[in-house]
Chains A and B, each alone.
Chain A
Amino acid sequence: MLHLLLRHFTLLLGSTLLIGFIGVAWIGPTQMKYEPEKVSRNTYERPSKDYPFGTDKFGRDIQTRVVHATQLDLRIAFTVALISFAVGSVIGAIVGYYGDWLDAIVMRGVDVLFAFPSFLLAMVITGVLGDSERNVITAVTIAYIPYFVRLTRGQMLTVRTLPYADAAISIGNPSWRVALIHLLPNTLAPSLVQMSMVAGWAILDTAGLAFLGLGITSPTAEWGVMISEGAQRITTGEWWMWLYPGAALVLAAFAFNLIGDGLRNLLQQ
């Protein structure tokens, strides 16, 4: 029992953290005394009994804002991970199964997307689409779809030569069913790891874009927006303004990465 616990320590720690975050995102907002965007006269308050994490320059409660931001950032992370996984895997499966010219065309496109750092790509797409939660999700999703395409395609090249692929054809499956119903599900284990990683990266990207004033913008409660506001006060000593959202962001990204690593270990055994 103990050695199992130790062996899967990363997975356990990651999931515990994530469950904590999900709990906060779920019930946190209803427990808060303040509104996330409600201004007050108590600006730059140090952490105290009334304001556990202090207040910002508009007198908004940092704790309330961090908690509301948790919901927003997790929502974006999960949506990005799910959609990029779904779209990327299906494209990868089809491309890997049919191969030939389709493969050549799509994979060159993927190579082009890979040539840009995904954050830069997300930045450009958000810049073009405009600032909104939906556009951030779209932009970051597009930036991560190539990862899943490449991963699933590679897996597909292996499984499509297995006898059960031949068996699926020989009993009369149409080729789309062979690719998507028989083979795709057998390629998904590595994508699961990738999904967890992408969720972590998506949070960092969303916050990063917001920090630069793209996508989610002030006054919305979002970690990147808050860190950006805190960064302006970093030399004047209002440390609570950047520390709490910053810590939340780091921990959330850390949780997803731990889960990804833990899953990888689990699946390799």
Chain B
Amino acid sequence: MTEPILRVEHLVKHFREGRHTIHAVNDVSFEVYPGEAVAVVGESGSGKSTMARCIIRLERPTAGRIVFNGEDITHHSARQMRPARRMLQMVFQDTHESLNPLFSVRRILREPLILHGLNHDKTQILGALEKVKLDQNHLGRRPHQLSGGQKQRVGMARAMITRPQFVVLDEPTASLDMSLRLQTLNLLRELQRELNMAYLFISHDLSTVRHLCDRVLVMYLGRIVEAGRVEDVFDHPRHVYTQALLSAIPIPDPTIQRQRLLLSGETPSTRQLKPGCGLQDRCPHVSAECRVPIPFYKVSDGHVAACRLAKPPIIEEKL
């Protein structure tokens, strides 16, 4: 068994907001293995981005442990984090704002190489540009002279130029139009194969997840509610929330009729969390079991769901 490249154990992140506490991430544990693409899906406000920011240590976790490459980075200071950042990179959601407006593409790409003491020849930079389908004509340009798709690819090149083992992709396609999305996803897949990186792909766009990822974690209210291989989770969702999420994907074929699972009510506030399932006030199948903390039930190999409906029948267990 290979060692995981990233191990997140009982991660908790709370924010203070005046007299209230925002429970952004609540006891999240998972592992990512080398070369694997893991998706994190969930609606806006489910804590996906906060979790990602904790993992690359832009935020200090409230509790829990983050182990990257065998090194516990949970409490690293900014200075202690720096060597690890070569192997742990991030592509940001906002393509337009994530590049320094005063830096040329050349400078943006050269900086990580210099910072980590790597060879920063022009050939290295050109090589990275080529990988994201840009060329030397773009070297001297500033971000405002690039299109949205080009900016995103520069952001990708910047994250991957140090040949990291692990890249967090925070909704990399969210600010791109449809025609660019597929192109970007294909590029990401190509790069992953070529550089053998592990991805943590954060998205609320489930169709892109199926396209790119091996495993998926479904998050709701800062908790993981279901996890498993993409085919297992998407084809046989067991948690009611996952089922609702999946039934919301539009199918580009008007002849197909589908029953939508609509949840009643609003997503509850993250200021006060009830024990038990986050969906307890909205779920049509709610029972007393849902009001106490729910363990993960194994659905199949590697597929778990924190829902009483995923509980195996007792008879089966005896056999």
Contacts and interface: CB of A to CB of B under 8 A. Distances in A.
A163 B92 contact: yes
A164 B100 CA distance: 6
Contact of B93 (A162, A163, A168, A169): A163
Interface stretch (A18-26, A37-45, A170-178): A170-178
Contacts of B162: 171-172
B111 A173 contact: yes
Interface residues of A, number: 16
Contacts, number: 59
B111 A171 contact: yes
B78 interface: yes
B186 interface: no
A169 B159 CA distance: 12
Nearest to B59: A166
Contacts of A174: 78-79, 82
B78 A164 contact: no
Interface in A183-217: 185-186
B214 interface: no
B89 A170 contact: yes
B292 interface: no
Contacts of B98: 163-164, 166-167
A167 B92 CA distance: 7
B133 interface: no
A186 B111 contact: no
Contacts of B138: none
A172 B99 CA distance: 15
B78 A167 contact: no
A63 B292 CA distance: 92
A167 to B, nearest CB: 5
B90 A175 contact: no
B82 A172 contact: yes
Interface string B94-131: 10011111100000000110011000000000000000
Contacts of B116: 172
A182 interface: yes
Given A163-B92, A167-B158, A170-B56, A175 B100 contact: no
Nearest to A183: B100
Contacts of A168: 100
A163 B83 CA distance: 21
B92 A166 contact: yes
A171 B58 contact: no
B115 A173 contact: yes
B48 interface: no
Contacts of B155: 167
20 contacts: A163-B94, A163-B98, A164-B97, A166-B53, A166-B90, A167-B100, A167-B158, A168-B100, A170-B56, A170-B90, A171-B85, A172-B85, A172-B116, A172-B162, A173-B115, A174-B82, A175-B79, A185-B102, A186-B100, A186-B102
Interface of B: 53, 56, 58, 78-79, 82-83, 85-86, 89-90, 92-94, 97-102, 111-112, 115-116, 155, 158-159, 162
